[in-house]
Amino acid sequence: LFFLSLLAAPAWAVTRTVCASGCDSTTINGVFTVFDLDPGDVVEVRADILGGSKTYFEDVSWGSNDGGAVGSPVTLLARAGDSVTIAGVTHAINSHSVGVQYISINGFRFTGTSAHTLWLGVSGTATQSNPAVAGVTVKNNFLDGTPAQGIYCNRCSGALIANNTVLGQDGSYAGQADGVVLYRGADNIVEHNHITIRNDNSSPHVDGVQTGWEKNITIRYNYVNQDNSATSNRQFYFTSNSEGFVRIYNNIAYKTVGTTGSYVLIVKQGSQTEVGIFNNTIVVSGSAGGIVIQSSPTIGPSVQNNIVQLGNGTAGILLNGGNQVRTNVHHNVCYRTGSSSCWRDSGGPAG
């Protein structure tokens, strides 16, 4: 049994280090350039002293041969106890150009980028789920002042986006500065993220979590704050053209001043097998509506045990478009002011 366990483990995995002196490389890109990383390998990025702080000024390009395998990703991480910042110009990390699979990014602060801070997955524009890159994990990072989309994963499958803080750039600018974006993938999870959108420009479409053409998407335990003065194009949780199941539960949407002019949580278009919206808390001073279903699930939607507090808006829960069958809407609590209603569907009066 011991011999078999040795065969099963990635015994050849090594840790490559990055620091000012005495490490394998003085830059992160240097590791990806010089070494061919294997499944289970770790790239540990360090400050100059243990427990110190250091900023690496580079756009990290992941090597095309530096992917992992199931259960053995190639991991890029900041050394425990260090505060490590990657200050990019365009993308802080780019694996999208080479479509590398089974990678993990853990424990960094990112700043300074002009485009997607983390540009992951691979290219593709199909208007359907079309996954090609498996096993991307992004966790425990702080994206500080992003002027464009923060974590972007195109055609990813089995991705985990967890425990990240995304703080959008403050001010008014044209960038589409969504927090987390997943397109054309399958079986992805977005959980335990803290996202604050601070772009005051109403023109770009800027959401906390945005997904499109995904199959089997789970969004749970996230906090999104639209902390800006924009009056339109500001959804908190937005999913469109999805298939399979959509499960959105135990999330918080928060805004105390002004109106977004948009829906808070929306499932738009697509024909899902299941839509479940459970245990979410919405406290928003003004919006076009709270929980909105505009798709055509085979069964449902099920909208249960949510708390919706709107300063104004069409309705706390709104079925508006699409074709819903065997709808299950119950045990929700609505607090509303003005002319907003708790419940409304496209074919009947407000309830």
| pLDDT tens-digit series, residues 200-220 | 999 998 999 999 999 999 999
Please give the model's pTM, rounded to 2 decimal places: 0.94
pLDDT of residue 10 exceeding 70:
no
| pLDDT tens-digit series, residues 326-340 | 688 889 998 876 555
Give the pLDDT band of residue 310 (cuts 50, 70, 90): confident
pLDDT of residue 165 exceeding 60:
yes
Mean pLDDT of 17-43: 98
Query: First-to-last CA distance in the chain?
Result: 65
How far is Cα 58 from Cα 233, in angstroms, rounded to an integer? 32
How far is Cα 201 from Cα 171, in angstroms, rounded to an integer? 8
What pLDDT is recorded for position 7?
Answer: 46
User: Which single residue is written with the structure tokens 């079986």?
Assistant: 187
pLDDT of residue 70 exceeding 50:
yes
> What tokens does 80 get?
């425990």
126: Cβ–Cβ under 8 A, 6 or more apart, which residues?
184, 213
Give the pLDDT band of residue 341 (cuts 50, 70, 90): confident
Q: Among candidates 250, 254, 217, which has minimal Cα distance to 234? A: 254
| pLDDT tens-digit series, residues 274-295 | 999 999 999 998 888 899 999 8
Q: Among candidates 137, 1, 17, which has minimal Cα distance to 71? A: 137
What pLDDT is recorded for position 348?
Answer: 40
| pLDDT tens-digit series, residues 167-186 | 999 999 998 999 999 999 99
pLDDT of residue 314 exceeding 80:
no
Answer positive or negative: Cα dihedral of 57, 75, 150, 309. Answer: negative
Mean pLDDT of 313-332: 81
Please report the DSSP string for 63-86 in residue order. -TT---BTTB-EEEEEPTT-EEEE
Q: How many CB atoms lie within 10 A of CB 123?
A: 10
What pLDDT is recorded for position 306?
Answer: 96
